[in-house]
A and B are shown apart, each in its own frame.
Chain A
Amino acid sequence: MNWEVVIGLEVHLQLATESKIFSGAATRFGAEPNTQACAVDLAMPGMLPVLNEQAVRYAVMFGLGIGAEIGLRSVFDRKNYFYPDLPKGYQISQFQEPIVGRGHFDIQLEDGSVRRIGITRAHLEEDAGKSLHEDFHNQTGIDLNRAGTPLLEIVSEPDLRSAEEAVAYLKTLHSLVTSLGISDGNMAEGSMRCDINLSLRPAGSEALGTRAEIKNVNSFRFVEKAIHHEIERQADILEAGGQVVQETRLYDAERDETRSMRSKEVANDYRYFPEPDLLPVVIEQSWVDSIRASLPELPAAKRERFIADYGLSAYDASVLAAERPLADFYEAVVKDCGDAKIAANWVQVELLGQLNRSDLALSQSPVDAQALAALLQRILDGSISGKIGKQVFEAMWAGEGDADSIIEARGLRQVSDSGALEAMVSEVIRANPEQVAQYLAADENRRKKLSGFFVGQIMKLSKGQANPQMVNDLLNQQLANAGGHGNT
């Protein structure tokens, strides 16, 4: 049977506020357990929540970023369930009247095609604490530092059709929220957690199949693997004539499988009701307008600008515009070296390659934008070739200094002295009479290929420092002369 995959994602995005959504405790990651959990977070009797303005602003920014209706009036509700990392016995969330309504954004797939994905809603809520199940003599340890951290839960329409689309959606969302500056997007620290709703239906069918929900998948790679696994599991059940059970499953990255969380089934009745400790949140249209006016350039607009202003390909533009730090870095290199294309090439291939190999973030790069631009200037003005440039870049990466001092210290300046180059070209031609004869006997097309051999030899002789353009010219000249002599 040919199955169509239907996926909707719920992303819990941690907002980058200093303090919690309903209390003045800090939200910093990695603090000693329970040192950032105040009386409100601990649900001490008599404590009352007070809403953090910045969390509301960030939610509005997100709504504006996806072209959504902003709820000028929104209401908080209690979502009731018992778990020790939720001291109140309920989570304050938004149910009936969320702050962000229907919106959408576009995702780009590997083949370049673009799909518009609907966002059903996004609402504000508080995070729970953390349970540690190991090492406490058969008891569970509770750290409430995370309790009360502001989350924006972003719910997509069931518009996604494959693991690839789901990952593209998450990457685009990540790029959007980090560009807006409303979240650090650090997936390893849980700033972006994903629940996957997945069902299968016979290709061509309109009715949705029964879905399973996979909870708390925390990296792009695991989302992809969890989806592949779940598609296979459901297809096996359906093809054997069975029925998928609507349930919550947990992805186990170590075993690469999903398994049922049976204990949650009975708890799936959250008995929502309006939070009596919070009044309805009413925001002014003028405030929303002022937030709209101060939004930074979003990745989609940046990508278009990179294509129009810098002449980049759609692919290069989407890589460079996706994350603000990289986009800023790239634009700083362009500004200093004056050539958008060489900058695009070097930032993507050399810089990102080195960062990747060294497992460093852009902010930790030992070569900053100005230093890279200074190196590119030496390539552009012909002082060194691109190939030598890579050597210089590696030396810069290793901390040996700036481009100019490395070029000087290692004597890498390109040989553009025509006399010296001419001598090298002659030497190579003399040393390879057989290849010269082959070249002279060959047709135009084959000559191009054969001349590569000579260029290679000359570059080798010059230790890579010969100016390639001049070598080509001199070589063509001398080979033409050799041919001339041969004919007489």
Chain B
Amino acid sequence: MVVNRMTVHRDDIEKLAELARLRIAPEAVAEVTDRIATILGLVDQLQSVDTGAVEPMANPLDAVQRLRSDAVTEENRREAFQAIAPAVENGLYLVPKVID
């Protein structure tokens, strides 16, 4: 099977890595770019199939979502959850400063 290689640029990979918070070493970017291009080539090949009459699949299971009734069933377990958090104060989880 011949797989076409999509055009993916180094910039695309760097941007995706940033969005996904993945650290890719600069010397590895070329290789990752190459591998993703191959994967996308496969996707591209799939996309050449005419799916005009096929309903998009949201889930592979042939079932529909069960709904739960609107009742409060969870109790306050803050102490247990916060016991495993790296830093808490006044009931809040502390994280490195983020500001828009």
With known contacts A52-B68, A141-B89, A280-B65, A266–B59 Cβ distance under 8 A: no
Q: Does A261 contact B (CB under 8 A)?
A: yes
Interface with B: A221-229, A239-247, A271-279, A379-387, which one?
A271-279
B28 close to chain A: CB less than 8 A: no
Closest residue of chain A to B62, judged by CB?
A: A279
**Interface range on chain B (Cβ under 8 Å from partner):** 35 or more
The smallest C-beta distance from B17 to any residue of chain A, in angstroms, reads 12
* Total of A-B residue pairs, C-beta within 8 Å: 136
CB of A24 closer than 8 Å to a CB of B: yes
Q: Which of B2-10, B33-41, B91-99 contacts A (4 or more CB under 8 A)?
A: B91-99
The smallest C-beta distance from A92 to any residue of chain B, in angstroms, reads 12
Chain A residues near B48: list those with CB within 8 A.
none
**In the complex, which of the residues A23, A33, A138, A261 contacts B74, with contact meaning CB atoms closer than 8 Å?**
A23
Question: Is the C-beta of A133 less than 8 angstroms from some C-beta in chain B?
Answer: yes
Which residues of chain B are within 8 angstroms of A279 by Cβ–Cβ distance? Answer: 58-59, 61, 63-66
Which residues of A are found within 8 Å of B100, using beta-carbon distances?
Answer: 250, 261, 263-264
A17-B70, A84-B98 known; A51+B65 contact, CB < 8 A = yes
| B-side contacts of A52, CB under 8 Å | 67-70
B76 contacts chain A at the CB level, 8 A cutoff: yes
Q: How far is the CB of A345 from chain B (nearest CB, A)?
A: 41
Q: Are B98 and A53 in contact (CB under 8 A)?
A: no
Kindly state whether residue B87 has any CB partner on chain A within 8 Å: yes
- Chain A, residues 116-148, CB within 8 Å of chain B (1/0): the string is 000000000000000111001011111110000
Q: Is residue A82 contacting chain B, with contact meaning CB distance below 8 A? A: yes
CB distance from B11 to the nearest CB of A (A): 12
- Residues of B near A81 (CB, < 8 A) are 19
The reply to whether the CB of B90 lies closer than 8 angstroms to some CB of chain A is yes
Report B-chain residues with C-beta under 8 Å of the C-beta of A26. Answer: 72, 74
When distances are taken between beta carbons in the complex, the residues of chain A under 8 Å from B23 are none
- Cα distance A218–B100 when bound, in Å? 18
